[in-house]
Amino acid sequence: MESLLIKGGVPLHGDVTISGAKNAVLPIMAATLLTGEPCVIRNVPKLSDVKFMGQILTWLGAKVEIEGNTVRVHAKKIRGMGDYDLVRKMRGSICIMGPLLGRLKKATVSLPGGCVIGARPINLHLKGFEALGAKIKIENGYVEASAKRLVGADLFLGGRAGSTVLGTANVMMAATLAEGVTVIESAACEPEVVDVANFLNAMGAKISGAGSPTITITGVKALHGAEHEVIPDRIEAATYAIAAAATNGEVTLRGARADHLHAVLDKLQSAGVKMVRSAAGLTFSRGGKFKPLDITTLPYPGFPTDVQAQMMALMILTPGISIITERIFESRFMHVSELTRLGADIEIEGPSAIVKGGKPLSGAPVMASDLRASAALVIAGLAAKGTTQVNRIYHLDRGYETMDAKLRKLGARIERIEES
């Protein structure tokens, strides 16, 4: 198992190209199952999750070619059952269910895995499939869905923590080949959902309203092959912006889209981070004295839960008291105990973390519990004095393309080693 060894205290300087969005590319790859014609996806990040999804599509019978940042998929003949061991490794793999149900009218998929950040049930996915006419059965660790025909319906996908991104994409994909019109209310509004809808429309689907709480899908008889370029990853962009500020550096994010980052940019600027837009991209640096923040994670366009841990790493460097409230996942403060090993002063009170910032950080061995916690520990390690070893970085490799190489290019003293 690999670790990252970080010698902190070096300001980051330079530019970094933002990779394609992980949370868009996985359902887009799954969407290729909806047609027997070839599809080409560009700007695909080199991630372990992408590799797993390619293996899942291959298991289902598709021909998958990954060359650089381009993926070609030809799902001419497919089967309706996902491999148990592959699917359970990654939560995003549940998004093969909608395309399989849409095209084959049957799908059998194991209950998915992923990061340990609290319950992330798929009940809203199944609710949507049932509304389209599918019968659902769960047994022996598998979810089975089947339908003689799928028929459009009006359905509501709001849940306890708001709308569901993967659920919206999954039901949207199944509905493209349903008879009649499907209207999804309380649909997720994230840019990744819009990107999936754009790919489906390029395949011949009839989808309108993506990016709003109401998405309308008019079913078609068949979809065809298409080419598509994945949007840049807004969470990766936010991570590098925070890392630049945390290290008192200056970093230009090439390809980052400010229109996908409104809530993050608002909080960064309130915290004293300077942003400059140019033809080269978005440039971030420390604009003066850092200021504490009050942050609550919310569904898009609110502050993203996927940036909560990274922002906490910045707030532990900020004098004063910051309050970070997590409203999406109930167990997403697992990074707190590891940040305290570096010298952070953080208390948990219910859904909120009380961060007493401004104390110097010193390097120590830490353990990553999930994808975004890994990024927060890396940021803290970059800002700390001494050496930090971040263990279990397989989480990091699930969502950040060659983060250690990108950080080295920015001047960070970071290397990948085998855990001792």
Query: Do both 168 and 38 map to the same domain?
Result: yes
Query: Do both 255 and 370 map to the same domain?
Result: yes
Query: Do both 197 and 247 map to the same domain?
Result: no
Query: Do both 350 and 257 map to the same domain?
Result: yes
* pLDDT value, residue 420: 66
* pLDDT value, residue 324: 98
Domain count for the chain: 2
Query: Pairing mode, if any, of strands 154-156 and 181-185?
Result: parallel
One digit per residue, pLDDT tens: the chain, 420 residues?
Answer: 899 999 999 999 999 999 999 999 999 999 999 999 999 999 999 999 999 999 999 999 999 999 999 999 999 999 988 766 777 667 678 899 999 999 999 999 887 654 443 444 788 999 999 999 999 998 887 889 999 999 999 999 998 878 899 999 999 999 999 999 999 999 999 999 999 999 999 999 999 999 999 999 999 999 999 999 999 999 999 999 999 999 999 999 999 999 999 999 999 999 999 999 999 999 999 998 999 999 999 999 999 999 999 999 999 999 999 999 999 987 789 999 999 999 999 999 999 999 999 999 999 999 998 999 999 999 999 999 999 999 999 999 999 999 999 999 999 999 999 976
* pLDDT value, residue 119: 43
* pLDDT value, residue 118: 40
Which residues span the domain enclosing 96? 22-229
CATH of the domain at 202: 3.65.10.10
Q: Which of 172, 196, 229 is the last residue of a domain?
A: 229
Query: Do both 150 and 183 map to the same domain?
Result: yes
b/e map of 252-276 (b: 16 or more CB within 10 Å)?
Answer: bbebbbeebbebbbebbeebbbebe
Q: How far apart are CA 405 and CA 292, in angstroms?
A: 31
* pLDDT value, residue 84: 64
* pLDDT value, residue 329: 83
Query: Do both 190 and 239 map to the same domain?
Result: no
Which residues lie closer than 8 Å to 305 by C-beta, 6 or more apart? Answer: 297, 326, 327, 328, 329, 332
Do 386 and 8 contact (CB within 8 A), yes or no?
yes
Query: Do both 13 and 83 map to the same domain?
Result: no
Query: Do both 30 and 152 map to the same domain?
Result: yes
Query: Do both 225 and 285 map to the same domain?
Result: no
Owner of token pair 């995003």: 92
Alpha-helical (H) ranges within 203-248 are 234-246
User: Collapsing DSSP states into helix, strand and coil, what is residue 172?
Assistant: helix
State the virtual CA torsion across 187, 192, 194, 195 in degrees, nearest 10: -150
* pLDDT value, residue 67: 97
Query: Do both 88 and 186 map to the same domain?
Result: yes
Q: Which of 182, 190, 217 is nearest to 203 (CA)?
A: 217
Cα–Cα distances (Å) from 243 to 46, 380, 381, 382, in that order, read: 21, 8, 10, 8
Query: Do both 286 and 402 map to the same domain?
Result: yes
Catalytic residue among 39, 95, 115, 189: 115
* pLDDT value, residue 115: 40
* pLDDT value, residue 112: 66
**pTM, rounded to two decimals:** 0.95
| Helix (H), strand (E) at residue 389 | strand 387-391
| Helix (H), strand (E) at residue 378 | helix 371-383
b/e map of 354-368 (b: 16 or more CB within 10 Å)?
Answer: ebbbeeebebbbbbb
Query: Do both 7 and 124 map to the same domain?
Result: no
DSSP string, 14-81: EEEEPPBPHHHHHHHHHHGGG-SSEEEEES----HHHHHHHHHHHHTT-EEEEETTEEEEE-SS--SB
Q: Which of 166, 200, 229 is the last residue of a domain?
A: 229
Q: Which of 172, 165, 220 is nearest to 197 (CA)?
A: 172
Q: Which of 181, 209, 229 is the last residue of a domain?
A: 229
- 95 tagged catalytic: no
* pLDDT value, residue 88: 67
